[in-house]
Structure 1
């Protein structure tokens, strides 16, 4: 099935941020080089010129201060949307996110509900080096008080951002770098999600469910279309990994009887492990075979010339599905 034209992720996020800035005077952007330069991937291009340096703020080269400032801004009633240049640069801000931002609501017994969004470019496939191609979403997904999203389309990025700035608690949104400027995507069903944090069934099928999220959703859909009609694969785009919409996953597994989880982050102690455990716990009777996970092994992201050997590709997904359905 052929690809369909679509707006790139960067263009969609830029338009959404512009609209949010226009609608809410409390909202501001904060990050390294996001103002004059427009961000390392130009996602915020033109926003400083339109809304001014007070609302599109270039920060110091220190991720801890970006999120630290944002925590104070959120407590004062502002709605900061931060940008971290790459997910491998997020670690200096873990303290501010986990020990401060995630606990603010509970610390004041629910009397404060500060909204704070942290945008993080993520993933490989663009010949980046280490610290530029990581997928560390599982790190923040395990901490109570932090919501974590990873859209695979500009439409979902728009919906996630609009919901995130109203949530009243911190949201980390991972943005797949290799989708920033991609102008086409495999055909997908347009059925809307049940709720702002629900997963989306992007392809209906009867033989096997694949749960996935982020950039690799495109490879999963391509593989699913390529296997049809011999194997009819249902694809669930999780969109959010914290909270996980297990209801949609379990409903899908009840229809197909099989589950494969595909993600770009390391397999060990990852999102796939949590999904597999939940399905084993709550959907075991529906399974016709063991749940399987397809993800990179536990090793650092390799140099650019070897990233194809690290990332999950369409053929690997097809091979795994065929093994599970033979």
Structure 2
């Protein structure tokens, strides 16, 4: 039954999601038809106007309040800025060129390195970021300084991040016997430098969201801090850890500047060839392809990288989403 909590009635949320899903499907289908029509007639600007207008009309019929219509309309402007370039990018691909690049062994190595290298960086960020995130969640003296250091890579220009890695770990740095310049180690370090804040901050938020009384109850029942973390704190924060790892991986996948400075080309073991090969990180390879082959060839490689990254991202989100039926216990 609907209840009233103020000047206007409050309508209870529907218990059946089927109408909502049908509405979303219909809205998306309408957007696809509108985009195809605008693109084939050479008027993509019309589609930008259509997104804003259709969003405003939909918000009016669903809610009817001026506030919702205004927020939905203004928000749709950002959706245009984010979505329209992606739609145009996909629509302007040449299928034969995409297939040609998909069959290119050089592109295979680049795609493998573009997934494998960021994965190592994400795991490295989590391995040392989870303990740090736990400390930050609990609080300690000098915490603002540590927080500033953790968040510093978020504001450092990407090329400067690469320079910092070379100064810190390259020749004359902290580990003179470790080869950083042009090596897989250097590439992973560069990626971890820019990706670690995402892993730490997401994990920290997960720790901070845990009720302290649960840890207290565990300690009262005789568990030490290691057992409490393994049985209580860790499992409860697992989703935040995975989110942080996915964000760190995604950030490392997209890194260009730091990797270009530290490890423009790297040699690594390629399991599909059974030997060491030399390749470039995917964003670097896409940039070189753009310089040498133009927008169309680089776009085909970028399309493949985007497809692989999006597929992995969606699989991880599905496996960790309770609503999708594949969530964590």
User: What is the TM-score with the length of structure 1 in the denominator?
Assistant: 0.25
Q: Which has the higher contact order (CA 8 A, sep 6+)?
A: 2
User: What is the TM-score with the length of structure 2 in the denominator?
Assistant: 0.24
> Which structure is higher in helix share?
2
Pick the structure with greater CA Rg.
2
